[in-house]
């Protein structure tokens, strides 16, 4: 990624003989120019401002945005020798930033980590988890194209993490949930089954009374993986008809998707996921009453999640039944109190009912949870303008 704006913030210099880094654990090759981070907003480099930290910052920038630089190996060895704990420090910082949804900074740190140790399975898996989390955030904010792009990045890094030798069980466990969200149940089941095989026999450690061990977490994950794999088998969700239906509907071929999902339901009439997919296709086609009936059948067959009730609310709104829509949305919020998509729809429902003040409260609440929600921000600006 040479030539990016981030690289414009550094300058390569030959280290003066008088300058010494605060360590003697390695040899500095003064024939190789070192990248140095310039003072913020400065156009030129001030040699008097040279510090060890400005050199380390420059090295991390090169590793993040120009990992194929001719002196990458030297830069890696230098910063690892000077800062032996750099991997742990950067990982903790990146995870904390991601947890706090400071995604831009987290992205930079993860890029530096990959430049520092590109083949480290933990770095690869953490990158996959980060891209996965960021895709979810963008999708909640209605920024679909960016969400899709980060999903693609997450998928690539999950695959790379699962290719690691020796195998990393958690890569398969987390990838399983990623594929569940993608409605790729065949790959999800394969990931969960692989996780179960890799961790078989690892839950036999003795526990001390009153103490929790790492084994408890492993036991929980094994139980969850088994439940999900069994559910996919029991509901026949890895059937090719189900996958084809999802792919068709996702690509705007709703009528073709309906053919596949109807054929699936003929063999599997009690699978709530299939009724949900049927409702999804019908809703996209504007067949509100048929879609509503499908979503209601999904709940009868055991579906109980916020997405179903949110979809139901859309059908009620388009049918002019605002009372039914509000009931569905309130039930969805009870299931997921911090779901900004549901809050946003509550706001739009309030607008439909002519209650601008209530709508503003909902859109304000959305922005409190997700300041980057573009739809809520633009709608609120219009209402307050």
- Domain ranges for the chain, please list them: 5-82, 253-384
Q: What does DSSP assign to residue 212?
A: -
E strand or H helix that includes residue 44: none
pLDDT at 249 over 60: yes
Q: pTM above 0.95?
A: no
E strand or H helix that includes residue 99: helix 86-99
Q: What is the pLDDT of residue 211?
A: 45
Q: What is the pLDDT of residue 208?
A: 45
**CA–CA separation, 44 vs 294, rounded Å?**
65
Three-class HEC string of 148-211: HHHHHHHHHHHHHHHCCCCCCHHHHHHHHHHHHHCCCHHHHHHHHHHHHHHCCCCCCCCCCCCC
* Mean pLDDT to the nearest integer, 280-308: 96
Close Cβ partners of 58 (under 8 Å, ≥ 6 residues apart): 10, 11, 34, 35, 36, 37
**Neighbour tally for 110: CB within 10 Å:** 26
**CA–CA separation, 383 vs 360, rounded Å?**
7
pLDDT at 207 over 50: no
**Mean pLDDT rounded to a whole number for the chain:** 89
Percent pLDDT > 70 in the chain is 90
Answer for the pair 295, 277: CB distance below 8 angstroms, yes or no. Answer: no
Q: Does domain 253-384 have CATH number 3.40.50.1100?
A: no
The more confident residue out of 181 and 204 is 181
Q: What is the pLDDT of residue 204?
A: 46
The more confident residue out of 144 and 202 is 144
Q: What is the pLDDT of residue 205?
A: 44
- Quote the distance between the C-alpha of residue 31 and its chain's center: 43
**Secondary structure class of 11 (helix, strand, coil):** strand
């Amino acid at each position: 990624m040479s030539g990016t704006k981030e690289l414009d913030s550094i300058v390569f210099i030959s280290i003066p003989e008088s300058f010494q880094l605060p360590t003697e654990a390695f040899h500095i090759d003064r024939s190789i120019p070192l990248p140095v981070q310039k003072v913020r907003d400065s156009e030129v480099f001030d040699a008097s401002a040279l510090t060890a930290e400005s050199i380390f910052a420059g090295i991390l920038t090169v590793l993040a945005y120009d990992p194929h630089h001719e002196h990458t190996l030297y830069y890696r060895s230098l910063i690892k020798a000077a800062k032996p704990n750099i991997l742990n420090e950067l990982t903790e910082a990146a995870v904390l930033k991601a947890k706090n949804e400071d995604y831009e900074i987290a992205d930079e740190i993860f890029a530096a980590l990959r430049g520092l140790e590109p083949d480290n399975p933990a770095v690869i898996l953490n990158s996959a988890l980060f891209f996965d989390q960021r895709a979810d955030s963008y999708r909640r904010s209605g920024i679909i194209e960016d969400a899709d792009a980060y999903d693609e990045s997450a998928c690539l890094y999950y695959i790379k993490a699962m290719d690691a030798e020796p195998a990393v069980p958690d890569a398969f466990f987390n990838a399983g949930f990623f594929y569940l969200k993608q409605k790729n149940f065949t790959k999800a089941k394969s990931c969960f089954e692989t996780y179960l095989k890799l961790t078989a026999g690892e839950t036999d450690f003795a526990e001390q009374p009153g103490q929790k061990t790492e084994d408890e977490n492993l036991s929980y994950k094994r139980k969850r993986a088994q439940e999900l794999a069994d559910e996919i088998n029991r509901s026949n969700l890895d059937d090719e008809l189900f996958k084809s239906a999802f792919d068709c509907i996702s690509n705007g071929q709703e009528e073709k998707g309906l053919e596949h999902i109807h054929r699936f339901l003929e063999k599997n009439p009690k699978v709530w996921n299939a009724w949900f997919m049927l409702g999804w296709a019908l809703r996209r086609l504007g067949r509100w009453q048929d879609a509503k009936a499908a979503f209601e059948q999904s709940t009868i067959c055991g579906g109980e999640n916020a997405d179903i009730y949110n979809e139901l609310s859309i059908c009620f709104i388009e049918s002019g039944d605002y009372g039914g829509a509000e009931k569905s949305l309130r039930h969805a919020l009870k299931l997921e109190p911090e779901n900004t998509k549901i809050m946003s729809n509550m706001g739009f429902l309030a607008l439909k009912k002519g209650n601008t003040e209530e709508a503003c409260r909902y859109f304000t609440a959305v922005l409190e949870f997700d300041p980057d929600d573009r739809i809520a921000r633009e709608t609120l600006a219009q209402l307050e303008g």
